[in-house]
Amino acid sequence: MEKDNKKKYPKRETEVSKRETNVSTKVKANRSRSKVNGGVFVYTGAISAGELAKTINVPAGDIIKFLFLQGKMVTINTVLDDELIGLVCLEFGYDFQKKTIVAAENFENVEINDDPSKLKPRPPVVTIMGHVDHGKTTLIDAIRNSRLVDDEFGGISQQIGAYQKEINGQKITFIDTPGHEAFTQMRARGAGVTDIVVLVVAADDGVMPQTIEAIDHAKAADVPIIVAINKIDKFGSNPEKVKNALLAHDVVCEEYGGEVIAVEISAKKKINIDGLLENILLVAEMRELKANPDRYAMGTVLEAKLDRRVGAKATLLVQNGTLKEGDFLVVGTAFGKVRRMVNEYRKVLQVAPPSTPVSIIGLSEVPSAGDPFMAFAEESEAKSIASKRKLAKETSERSKTATASLKDLYNLAKEGEVQTVNIIVKADSTGSAEAVKASIEKLATDKIKINVIRASSGAITESDVLLAGASNAIIYGFNVRPNAVTRARAEEDGVEIRLHRIIYSLIEEIQAAMKGMLAPTLVEKVLGQAEIRKLFKASKIGTIAGCMVIEGVIKAHSDARIIRDGIVVYEGKLASLQREKDAVKEVRSGFECGMTIENFNDIKENDIIECYQMVEQKNG
């Protein structure tokens, strides 16, 4: 056994030692350094007149005299600003350059300068963007021969997916971004990590609002655009009209003398998909995309969530270096070790080179979409950096203050007072939370300021209620629910929880309150909750849920929803309610019962069935 260990572990150490580190905790950000390099005075921070004189080998008196003639009174101990340092250097025959030393905990700001001899070609990262329902996910389906679009809520992508495809021996990494107007932030994040944007425009609909947003994101990220004119198989399609409309947004296709490639396709019928892929490889080749695989990995979080079975799970895009199983990571403010790493097909990977999207587990907490990540050689170093980043974030969050509730918002709007309203956003994924936050913040006016003090994924918890109580905030849940204990705590503390499944209704509710125009609305009243303890199969009925009512009362034929890990997976009605073998009208807390859900059999043990009714509530 000892022999096996001796053979196994040194090999791992040898592999690790080949990779360069990205940052070091030994470098102090506040330590100023200066030197002369080839006639260039290089400095990192504040420097006195005396230190400058010593470094450039000029008498301090000469520098003081020169600055006096420029109208600047300085002594040998005076700290010079960047402008004065530049004046002195130019006067005495030196060029100058200021470099910033970045502390290890701010690793996202570190500028990596790789030895050109170590750079190797990497796959292009392609983001597919465009207006809602113009066929972005269908295009990914066509490329991967999958059926992703069937899994999307309402046929609209609401989470980022990343996939790789090998074409003619060359890999391409694709990112599918949401097309809904409210998910601008997620789309912007996709553009931030991409090399090429494929702009999907439906040949029948033409240029739409999110098409323009996608163009703006691509231009801001300074990445080339390839226009994929989709749905050319549909009646009424007009590719030339699309190309003409793009001219107004400074997207000039090759046919009109520009540099933008336009490819006419049908994702649904798989027409000219190969032509699109060939053009992607052509643009990638012209860009000469390279990275250094022989360093520790760094990159960006595309999506993250909490999985009940394995804990925090994150989709990462490796942008430089190589990520390996067992690596120590800092992801946002989370620390972790890569315990398992899989690709989009759930195939376990040992190594992820540049431009590879992977899903990993092993993190201490759920990071946020868009967070940077970096791998480190030592566990202690990674833990230290994660701890410093977490402390900095908590300090920043504690500085946020303000007051209000939705009814207060309505009253303030009528009275015309200038106030700030605090809001906490909880959603089914970090990307959704980020998008809802961005949409809410856009509603701020001169009279009413909106402050989103927390936006994160997962069920609404007692921790959220405590924060809301301390800051007098409204909690908005998007596709998530509080459990009975959390709801009771919210009622006890007077914390308002507003729940929505459609983002439009959430935004419209806040807009109405801000205009002082809240009409009587139907609000939800939760009747009770039951936990599924056992499942029974009946050929004529379907799946019967054997339940224990854990709160309130369950009423026959009432509206109901299935909640799994705090997230709503289905909404409908109770089809039947029984005690023993008898149909009953209601079952109260502490009693067992059997239930079936109308048109839904995909229930599981430990799911919560929540019954509710809608009642009218006056506002103001």
Q: What is the mean pLDDT of the chain?
A: 81
pTM (2 decimals)?
A: 0.57
Closest to 510 in 3D by CA, of 412, 387, 616, 389:
412
The pLDDT assigned to 542 comes to 85
pLDDT (tens digit per residue) in 299-324: 988 888 888 788 889 999 999 999 99
How far is residue 242's CA from residue 239's CA, in Å, rounded to a whole number? Answer: 5
Can you read off the two tokens belonging to residue 585?
């009208």
CATH 1.20.1740.10 holds for 123-288? no
Closest to 259 in 3D by CA, of 223, 233, 229, 299:
223
pLDDT (tens digit per residue) in 173-191: 988 655 433 334 544 555 4
Closest to 611 in 3D by CA, of 551, 541, 559:
559
Residue with tokens 């609401």: 158
Topology alike, domains 298-397 and 524-617: yes
Can you read off the two tokens belonging to residue 201?
């425009």
For residue 404, pLDDT beyond 60: no
pLDDT (tens digit per residue) in 491-535: 887 888 888 888 888 888 888 777 664 445 667 889 999 999 999
Task: Work out the pLDDT band at 539, boundaries 50, 70, 90.
Answer: confident
How far is residue 319's CA from residue 299's CA, in Å, rounded to a whole number? Answer: 5
The pLDDT assigned to 162 comes to 80
Ordered by start, the domain boundaries in the chain are 34-101, 123-288, 298-397, 406-518, 524-617
The pLDDT assigned to 324 comes to 94
Share of the chain above pLDDT 70, in %: 82
The pLDDT assigned to 538 comes to 83
For residue 383, pLDDT beyond 50: yes
CATH topology of domain 524-617: Elongation Factor Tu (Ef-tu); domain 3 (2.40.30)
Average pLDDT of 403-408? 51
pLDDT (tens digit per residue) in 231-244: 999 888 899 999 99
Domain at 406-518: CATH architecture? 3-Layer(aba) Sandwich (3.40)
Cβ-contact 128, 200 below 8 angstroms: yes
Residue with tokens 């004046």: 87
The pLDDT assigned to 247 comes to 92
Helix, strand, or coil here: 546?
strand
**Phi, psi of 608, rounded to the nearest 5 degrees:** -110, 130
Task: Work out the pLDDT band at 36, boundaries 50, 70, 90.
Answer: low
For residue 405, pLDDT beyond 60: no
User: For 298-397, which CATH superfamily applies?
Assistant: Translation factors (2.40.30.10)
Q: Is 594 exposed, middle or buried (0-12, 13-18, 19+ CB in 10 A)?
A: buried
For residue 192, pLDDT beyond 80: no
The pLDDT assigned to 138 comes to 85
Can you read off the two tokens belonging to residue 427?
């959603």
How far is residue 110's CA from residue 132's CA, in Å, rounded to a whole number? Answer: 36
Average pLDDT of 413-429? 73
> What is the Rg, in whole angstroms, of the alpha carbon atoms belonging to the chain?
29
